[in-house]
Amino acid sequence: MTYYRSFTHFWVSVITGWALVGGMLLLLIVGLNIASIIGSIFLAPIPGDFELTQVGIAVAVFCFLPYCQLFRHNVTADVFTAKANKKIIMFLRIASSIIALLFATLLVWRMGDGMLDQKAYNYTTTILQFPIWVAFVPILISLCFLIIASLLTIGDDFNLTPISTPLTNEQALKDGK
């Protein structure tokens, strides 16, 4: 079980780091848009800012998906499960983890083929002539991390090793444990 805990801890750290990369990318996109707006007022806007924003936001969103799955920060409809018993809630948690795993696997397959098509046909953005297939690489990495996060949450659902949430870690530091 110790090996599984260290394995889990490793992937929790990698997935958290990947989400931070997505956050940094999002900040860069915000900075780019601010610079483009200021540039358009005083000098000239940054060419291709819309293209970079579209690609950057898409990559950033996919960077957050594994983290959201791992720490169960996905959108839920608690109004339907507020009065459900623990068995039903556990069944729904396991089912949602399995659905996330299947969905991520399907997306890796289809987006992998899409990336190969984009590369084969040499699709680029209109203004910057940026090859579109390059944006697929971090998205596919994110989807692979989503598969791993889904497997870890399935393990968590079956109590192999609980995944500690960031809030739990903060509470442990407060309590001096």
The SS3 of residue 71 is coil
Q: List pLDDT tens digits, range 97-140.
A: 999 999 999 999 999 999 999 999 999 999 999 999 999 999 99
Q: Which domain holds residue 155?
A: 2-163
- Residue 113 inside a domain? The answer is yes
Tell whether 91 is covered by a domain.
Answer: yes
C-alpha to C-alpha distance for 157 and 155, rounded to whole angstroms:
5
Q: How confident is the model at residue 171 (pLDDT cuts 50, 70, 90)?
A: very low
Residue 176 lies in a domain: no
Number of domains, the chain: 1
Q: Are 104 and 76 in contact (CB under 8 A)?
A: no
